[in-house]
Structure 1
Amino acid sequence: MIPRYTRPEMAKIWEPENKYQKWLDVELAACEAWASLGEIPKKSLATIKKKAKFTISRIDTIEKTVKHDVIAFLTSVAEHVGPDSRFIHKGLTSSDIVDTALALQMREASDIIIKDIKELLRVLKSGALKYKNTLRMGRSHGIHAEPTTFGLMFALWHEEMKRNLSRIEAAKKAISCGKLSGPVGTFSNVPPFIEQHVCKKLRLSPAPVSTQIIQRDRHAEYMNALAITAATIEKIAVEIRHLQRTEVLEAEEPFEKGQKGSSAMPHKRNPVGSENLSGLARVVRSHALAAMENIALWHERDISHSSVERIILPDSTILLDYMLARLTGILRGLHVYPDRMMENIEKSFGLFCSQRVLLRLTEKGLSRENAYQLVQKNAMQSWQEKKDFRETLKGDPKIMQYLPGNELDKIFDLKYYTKNVDYIFKRVFG
């Protein structure tokens, strides 16, 4: 991933140094297991553990000739260890090392993402509580519907992000899996004990059954969990973009001192952060599809998945880490305009009360069809004449026949629409 969207902690997980160290960790754990069976002399094991290391530049040089990264790695390690290196990689195949080590990298990446989500959840909860009773107009199909609160929007985002957290945690568990079962998964030249020992040492679960590789449905599950989380981020970003539109202007991204919005128009304050998140979400989602394509491999394994994973796993985790951090910053500094929210509520002339009027008329004895036609006629008239809906209704004798005096006025009380906010918040936050 390009440096622009890369944060240091996540980047380190995918650097060659960490990858090769994970490979070495697996190899050393396997040597310990073999030694416990008496297959590697204790003196040789001590030499291996003392001298085993690698040189990245040397691995790169060797790979140019052998065209095989694991062989290049093993050759580099052997050059450091000496004659006892003959015990390293005993009975194993390349994927025993690569897949088991990859699980460790993906687990590390998961831990960072989980930490990011928990920080975002704290910000979302804070926003929900702060704006719990801040009225705003709810919209369906982009059209004014009924009043809600800005806090409920934050509560909704919080609940969805909690589900994402659960998905990431489940995907982390699914991918925390190792295998050291040989070329086709039959333990032909390596006893199951070696796999058990290595996985226990590295805090992984042994794959109950495998081929040459760990099956890629696990990786697809992981990538889809990332993609769904990215989609939620975009969902929030799109809402902020809509709210920042000049005609709406109920909220704005933070705009720092010295920041500029346009090379041509000095007045512009564009929602570039949210737009950036919308774009990056598309990349992460596309990578989930690539992971799905990796599930169907030939027989006990082909290598078509490898080139894909070298791109999508680092890039998706790096991007999601960046996206979560950026969204958290946007929401933490979000400018919110309650007065503008009330102005927008008033722009609908009280038409949001149409369902209440409809229900009250049916309670008075009108059929739903007749009540609907009556309310709709007055609502359309109010909209066309830009006239207060309540006043339009008061001018209709049929309406006043069923809703006399103050009864109609009571229907237009905004507090009616927030009467269950406390109940909803209790369900979300306890």
Structure 2
Amino acid sequence: MIDRYSRPEMANIWSEENKYRAWLEVEILADEAWAELGEIPKEDVALIREKADFDIDRILEIEQETRHDVVAFTRAVSETLGEERKWVHYGLTSTDVVDTAYGYLYKQANDIIRKDLENFTNIIADKAKEHKFTIMMGRTHGVHAEPTTFGLKLATWYSEMKRNIERFEHAAAGVEAGKISGAVGNFANIPPFVEQYVCDKLGIRAQEISTQVLPRDLHAEYFAVLASIATSIERMATEIRGLQKSEQREVEEFFAKGQKGSSAMPHKRNPIGSENMTGLARVIRGHMVTAYENVALWHERDISHSSAERIIAPDTTILIDYMLNRFGNIVKNLTVFPENMIRNMNSTFGLIFSQRAMLTLIEKGMTREQAYDLVQPKTAHSWDNQVDFKPLLEADPEVTSRLTQEEIDEIFNPAYYTKRVDDIFERIGLGD
């Protein structure tokens, strides 16, 4: 992943140095397990633990000849050892090392993502509580519907992220796994004890059954969940982009002193952070498709997944880490304009209260059809002629014969639409 979208902590996990360190740890732990079984001298394993090392340049040099990265790695490591070198990679196949190390690297990445998710969700919760009763226009199909609150809008984000966290925990457990079961997964040359020992030491799960590789449906699910998280962020970002349009300006991304919005138009303040999230979500969804393509390998394995995973594993985790942190800051520092929300809500001449008018007339004895057919022509007249809806009701004898002025006034009270906000917040765990 390019540096522009990489945070150092996550990027370091996927560095060549850390990858080879993980490979080496798997190799050493496997030897320790053999020693526990009495198959390898413990003094040799102690020497391997003390002396085994690698030089990346040397690995790459050997790979030029072997055309095999794991063989190059084991030979480079062996060069740092004495007679005990014969136990390096003993009983293992390449993917025993690579897939188990991947599981360990995923665990490291997931620890960061887990913290990111918690922090991001808490930011949304705080902003939702802050604007719990900030009344604004609810829109369906892009058209004014009925009043809601900005806090309720954010509360849907909070609830969605809670679901994402649940999905993530399940999917993360799937990829935080290892396998050391040999060339076709039947433990022919290595006992299951070695696999369990190594995985326990690494803090990952021993996969219950495998071929030469871990089953890739686990990884497909994992990347699908990361894509779901990215898509959730995109949904939120799209909302900010819509609300920041000049004719609405209900919210605005923080615009720093000295920041420029356009090389040509000095007045511009664009929602570039939210637009950035939209673009990165597209990349992550593309990686999800690649992960699904990696599931159908030939027989007990082929290597078609390997090249793809070298890209999608680091890139997707690095991007989701970046997105959660950057968009968290956008939400935290979001500028909200309640007065513009009220202005926009009032811009449609009170038409947003049409359902309340209809329901009130039904409560006063009209059939639903009668009430609907009375209200709808008045809403059409209001919109077509750009006049207020309320006086049209007040001028209709059919309405005034059933409703008092106080009852008509109450129809147009925006606070009516906030009466269940506390209950909704309580239902999703944001109650006081």
| Coarse TM-score class (shorter-chain normalised) | over 0.9
Post-superposition shift, 1:413? 1.3
Relative to the length of structure 2, the TM-score reads 0.98
Percent identity of equivalent pairs: 54
**Which residue identity is paired with 1:368?**
R
Describe how 1:73-84 pairs up with structure 2 within 5 A. Answer: 73-84=73-84
Q: Cα deviation per residue 1:369-392 (whole Å; 9 max; x = unaligned)?
A: 222121111111111121111111
Deviation at 1:406, TM superposition (A): 2.2
Give the Cα–Cα distance (whole angstroms) in 2 for the partners of residues 215 and 382 of structure 1: 62
Is structure 2 residue 352 aligned with structure 1 residue 352?
Answer: yes
Q: Does the CA-based 8 Å contact 2:32-2:42 persist in structure 1?
A: no
Name the residue aligned to 1:302. 302
Paired residue for 1:104?
Answer: 104
What CA distance in whole angstroms lies between the structure 1 residues aligned with 2:340 and 2:205? 55
Question: Pairwise CA RMSD of aligned residues?
Answer: 1.0
Size of the aligned set, in residue pairs, is 430
Counterpart Cα distance in 1 of 2:147 and 2:339: 14
8 Å Cα contact 2:107/2:204 also seen in 1: no
Structure 1 residues 245-284: Cα deviation after superposition (integer angstroms, max 9, x where no partner): 0011001001111110111111101111111111000000
Deviation at 1:397, TM superposition (A): 2.2
* 5+ residue gaps, structure 1: none
Partner residue in 1 for 2:425: 425
- Counterpart secondary structure, 2:348: coil
Q: Within 1, Cα distance between the matches of 2:418 and 2:411?
A: 14
Matches for 1:222-371 after TM superposition, within 5 Å: 222-371=222-371
Pairs within 5 Å for 1:400-415: 400-415=400-415
Q: Secondary structure at the match of 1:402?
A: coil
Q: TM-score, normalised by structure 1?
A: 0.98
In structure 2, runs of 5+ residues without a counterpart are none
> CA shift at 1:62, angstroms?
0.7
Aligned to 2:388: 388
- Pairing of 1:164-175 with structure 2 (within 5 A): 164-175=164-175
CA–CA distance in structure 1, aligned partners of residues 383 and 393 of structure 2: 12
What is the identity, as a one-letter code, of the residue corresponding to 1:366? M
Q: Distance in 1 between matches of 2:273 and 2:42?
A: 58
Question: What corresponds to 1:37 in structure 2?
Answer: 37
Distance in 2, matches of 1:324 and 1:122, equals: 12
Q: What is the Cα deviation at residue 23 of structure 1? A: 0.6
**Structure 1 match to 2:129:** 129
Q: How much has 1:398 moved relative to structure 2?
A: 2.2
Write the letter of the residue equivalent to 2:344: N
> Runs ≥4 in structure 1, deviation > 4 angstroms?
none
The letter for the 2-side match of 1:154 is: L
- Partners of 2:36 and 2:92 lie apart in 1 by 17
Matching residue's letter, 2:338: P
C-alpha distance in structure 1 between counterparts of 2:382 and 2:291, whole Å: 54
Counterpart-to-counterpart distance in 2, 1:331 and 1:172 = 26
Written as runs of structure 1 = structure 2, the 5 A alignment for 1:4-153 is 4-153=4-153
- Given that residues 252 and 334 in structure 2 are in contact (C-alpha distance below 8 angstroms), is that contact kept between their aligned partners in structure 1? yes
Question: What is the letter of the counterpart of residue 274 of structure 1?
Answer: S
Cα separation, 2, equivalents of 1:201 and 1:110? 17
